[in-house]
A and B are shown apart, each in its own frame.
Chain A
């Protein structure tokens, strides 16, 4: 057996675990580990400009690949700066390991320089956290961290590493643990066969069915199974914000996103359905609207890896706890075996009704003569990128427009902070994707509010040559806040207006990138083409859009799924 210091063990473990990139920022308590990083070249470290961005980069990587991201920061402020990023990953169930330096174990509790109780601070926003108590534990604790982060319902795991656990001249035996076992943690490996059979019988008996697919289908890698099941049954499919792409956005059976800013047809189908097959979704308040008015005629089959997500807000008639891919596989096999089919006349009538709803509204917006509409920009982006880009977003109106108008045909391509709604997420997330997919188009759709929350990362992009494209839908205001103020506060725009915006073109240039300003409709597509033709350049596209545009449809607060505003004046 080899003898290694704690710091070398950490780096060696990362190599053995197959971690190619880590994202971080050095500081006192992490310096032994940084020195160990310096003395090797297998694990590459990306130096960000703020620790929050390191977490979002790891997060973007994890969402695009399905593998856990890794972050390394120092104690105190280094660690606390990661908290927003960790909470973002936690809410969206993203696998991630955050290695935090800590003051020496002999100093803990003495209010030492840069000491923060990171275990306590992070506790409510992690799947788990652990402290290294002896250097010999390092390989086992790290193996557990990666296992917990990536298995079951994934999530972030924090490992707190006191500086004296990494002392260079104290060496211990190192062996890479192949396996890990935890007596108190055994995520479900398959669904209950009896429940699956019951669910299949309900699918076959349905007359007005809908599949409600969530982020769990993306995380669980069950896109192929979802497509097969939906196509075999000819059932309509709607998706949450987090699930977009798991079912192809251009498929005839796809209804668009559901919920607060869901499509008219998706929300109508949900409200009138007699059977909802919920897969890897959690009946979040941005989906259900008022829970007591939720889908009155529907029986609910709910498949999820996390038992606590089932019957939390909406009671399930048939709960199935298990990995979505294996449960769906079993459903598909049972359906084939049974040779049964749902009532085709009923299903045809249901599709006819859906067709009428689609014709009544669909996704539409008014175009003007002069001002660019944000929806138009997303449609042009879709066209220019052939619908194939990785699109990350920040939070607000631009996020909803991107979700509504960019039709994702593949999972893991739409990357946004759905649960926590973290402004400042999109740009570093795009960087994390680009680093790992250098040959793909990676776009961050953002607004002038969100982008300024992590704009310093333009510098990181220069250092590591990360040519992402930034599509800044500039409406000179915090659009979604303003929309709510228009709708609920008689247009009193309290602090939702950005009075002193920088010249983003010059700003991009100052960091060594390309900036472009677009104000006219006729410039939109040619400029986008030009930007995307510059494969090796980060291009910041500052696009001035109609500042008064709202996101529609929008569900009426405290109403049912079907109560929506379709424009500033139409309410159904």
Chain B
């Protein structure tokens, strides 16, 4: 099952490599990974999406917790949560395609953030499925380049991950 694990990490050199190393060392899978400092500059927040049996996920959270620089973590998929991913996508846009692409971007509530005579660069946010659906709707032949940020997530309601 796909899981989103959110980690508060000491914002120190080498801390990220420990997390990434743990995954490869113990044969766990990383699907996406995002990391950036938080409002408290001593902490980074890292979001990793992974998959595995319940037993594997339990080990992943326990092993992550064992890393000295991991301050706190939560498996967001255990409760209600919001997940978002940002995509920047460069599309071939010429002739009649230009209007069609614009319509599709509007339907998906994306924005065209850069334009040339032959190319649109589109910014789109949403959960991963929505981004997949957009690429499918546009069609592979129009796609020139895709860059996705990986998933960020946060719990719904009052719950917060902080120290």
Contact = CB atoms under 8 A, between A and B. Distances in A.
Contacts of B70: 184
A493 to B, nearest CB: 33
Interface in B15-67: 17-18, 21, 25, 55, 58-59, 62-63, 65-66
B94 to A, nearest CB: 46
Given A123-B17, A123-B21, A307-B65, A183 B71 contact: yes
Interface residues of B, number: 20
Prevailing SS type, chain B contact patch: helix
Interface in A83-131: 119-120, 123-124, 127-129, 131
B19 to A, nearest CB: 11
A120 B65 contact: no
A148 B68 CA distance: 9
Interface residues of A, number: 18
A308 B59 contact: yes
A182 B163 contact: no
Interface in A145-199: 148, 182-185
B75 interface: no
A311 interface: yes
B21 A124 contact: yes
The CB with the most chain B CB atoms within 10 A, among A119, A184, A308, is that of: A184
A303 to B, nearest CB: 16
A308 B14 contact: no
B59 A185 contact: no
B66 A306 contact: yes
B71 A307 contact: no
Contact of A308 (B21, B63, B68, B71): B63
Contact of B69 (A119, A184, A311, A312): A184
A107 to B, nearest CB: 17
Contacts of A119: 14
Given A123-B18, A123-B21, A128 B62 contact: no
A184 B68 contact: yes
Interface of A: 119-120, 123-124, 127-129, 131, 148, 182-185, 306-308, 311-312
Give 6 nearest A-B pairs by CB, closest first.
Answer: A308-B62, A184-B71, A128-B68, A124-B25, A185-B68, A307-B62
Interface of B: 10, 13-14, 17-18, 21, 25, 55, 58-59, 62-63, 65-66, 68-72, 163
11 contacts: A131-B13, A131-B14, A184-B10, A184-B68, A184-B69, A184-B70, A185-B68, A308-B59, A308-B62, A308-B63, A311-B58
Given A123-B18, A184-B71, 17 more contacts: A120-B17, A124-B21, A124-B25, A127-B68, A129-B14, A148-B68, A182-B68, A183-B163, A184-B10, A184-B68, A184-B72, A306-B66, A307-B62, A308-B59, A308-B65, A311-B58, A312-B59
